[in-house]
Structures are given as C-alpha cells and as structure tokens.
C-alpha cells in the first residue's frame, strides 16, 4: 500500500505539527494522533507556507468533527446491536407480564372505544345541528319566489354535501389516527 500524496492527504483527515525546527519523526507519537488508522502515511513540510494556519485549522476542525460523527455512529450501532441482542435473548414473558399486557390492552381498547363513541356522538350532534339549521333556513326561504327558492336550495344542498364530506373526511382521519395509535400501542406492548 502506497501512502497518499499531498492533495489526497489534504482532501481527507490529516494531522499538523506547528513550529518544528530541524527534523521530526513521521509517527503517531510525534503528532499525537493517527489521522487515518490502518492507512500508509507520509509527512510533508510546508516550508514555503503554502497554506495559512487559519485554513489548516478549519480543515482540521472539519476532520475532527467527521471523526466524532463516525464515533457516534459506531457507538449508536453498538448500542442498537446490544439492545437487539438483549431483546432477542429475552424469549419468554412471565405470567405477570402477560397479565399486565392484557390489562393494558383492555384499558387501551376501552379508552379507544370510549373516544370513538364520543366522536360518533359529536358527529351525530353536528349532523342534527346541520339538519336543524337547514330546517330553519328552509322555513325562512318559503317566502321567496319559486326561482329564487330553487337556486337557494341548490346552493344549500351543495354546502350541506360539502359540509358532510368534510365531516366524513375528518371522521375518517380520526378513525385512521385511532387505528394507528391502537396498532402502535399493541406493538409497544408486544415489544
């Protein structure tokens, strides 16, 4: 394996040693860090100061951040592997845990059914209110002439249909959310 050239090195993680007079060993010990473990390395001397210190420090900060991100990802993966191993090895659920899960499922189911009933009651109340509103509006419009009355009734019917469609859409959304919540809860209890 041949070491990276200067441009390659500068485009990846690297280490810098400032204020060196004379010679310095091209080693991890001399630089205090191994910027690219497992890779062949070589050292360069910037005796003509091609790069200013600020640019180098910015580049080093970037690569430190990249190493930290890699370390966090590795730790996260290790934590997940440990969690997965732990949960996989726990294959039996005690009787008490099974009873607790069943009770929790019953409680959640009861709460969900109660919420669904309340929503159905609200739907019915809204429908009755809309029906009452339509009835009052209808009675007040009987005094209008036949053409005007027909146009108004058509407009009200369209508005009522739109309102009912909105109510139905809202109810369908709520039903879907409740079903998702129930499924998530059951999945959490099973885990």
Co-location of 115 and 141 in the same domain: yes
15, 35 contact by CB (below 8 A): yes
Co-location of 182 and 107 in the same domain: yes
The domain boundary residue, chosen from 88, 107, 133:
88
Whether 176 is in a domain gets the answer: yes
Co-location of 43 and 128 in the same domain: no
- Provide mean pLDDT across the span 47-57: 74
Helix intervals (H) in 19-52: 28-31
- On the question of pLDDT at 174 being above 70, the answer is yes
pLDDT digits (tens, 9 = 90+) for 80-135: 888 877 776 665 556 777 788 888 889 988 988 888 888 888 888 888 888 888 88
The domain boundary residue, chosen from 88, 122, 151:
88
- Provide mean pLDDT across the span 136-143: 76
**C-alpha angle with apex 177: 174 to 183, nearest 5 degrees?**
140
Co-location of 60 and 119 in the same domain: no
Co-location of 75 and 21 in the same domain: yes
Co-location of 41 and 101 in the same domain: no
Q: What's the structural domain count of the chain?
A: 2
Co-location of 74 and 142 in the same domain: no
Per-residue pLDDT, 101: 84
**C-alpha angle with apex 190: 187 to 191, nearest 5 degrees?**
85
- On the question of pLDDT at 24 being above 70, the answer is yes
Co-location of 153 and 173 in the same domain: yes
Whether 83 is in a domain gets the answer: yes
Residue 172 belongs to domain spanning: 93-190
CA pair distance 180, 178, nearest whole angstrom: 5
Per-residue pLDDT, 146: 67
Going 52 to 55 to 56 to 57, the CA torsion angle's sign is positive
CA pair distance 152, 129, nearest whole angstrom: 19
How many CB atoms lie under 10 A from the CB of residue 14?
A: 21
């Amino acid at each position: 394996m041949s070491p990276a050239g200067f441009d390659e090195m500068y485009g990846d993680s690297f280490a810098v040693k400032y204020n060196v007079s004379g010679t310095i060993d091209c080693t991890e010990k001399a630089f205090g860090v191994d910027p690219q473990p497992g890779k062949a390395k070589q050292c360069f001397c910037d005796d003509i100061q091609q790069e200013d210190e600020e640019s180098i420090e910015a580049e080093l900060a970037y690569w430190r951040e990249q190493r930290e991100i890699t370390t966090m990802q590795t730790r996260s993966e290790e934590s997940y592997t440990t969690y997965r191993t732990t949960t996989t090895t726990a294959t039996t659920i005690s009787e008490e845990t099974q009873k607790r899960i069943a009770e929790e499922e019953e409680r959640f189911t009861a709460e969900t059914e109660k919420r669904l009933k309340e929503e159905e009651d609200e739907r019915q109340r809204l429908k009755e209110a809309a029906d009452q509103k339509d009835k009052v509006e209808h009675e007040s419009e009987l005094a209008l002439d036949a053409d005007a009355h027909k146009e108004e009734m058509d407009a009200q019917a369209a508005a009522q249909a739109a309102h009912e469609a909105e109510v139905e859409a809202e109810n369908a959304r709520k039903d879907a959310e409740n079903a998702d919540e129930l499924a998530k809860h059951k999945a959490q209890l099973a885990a």
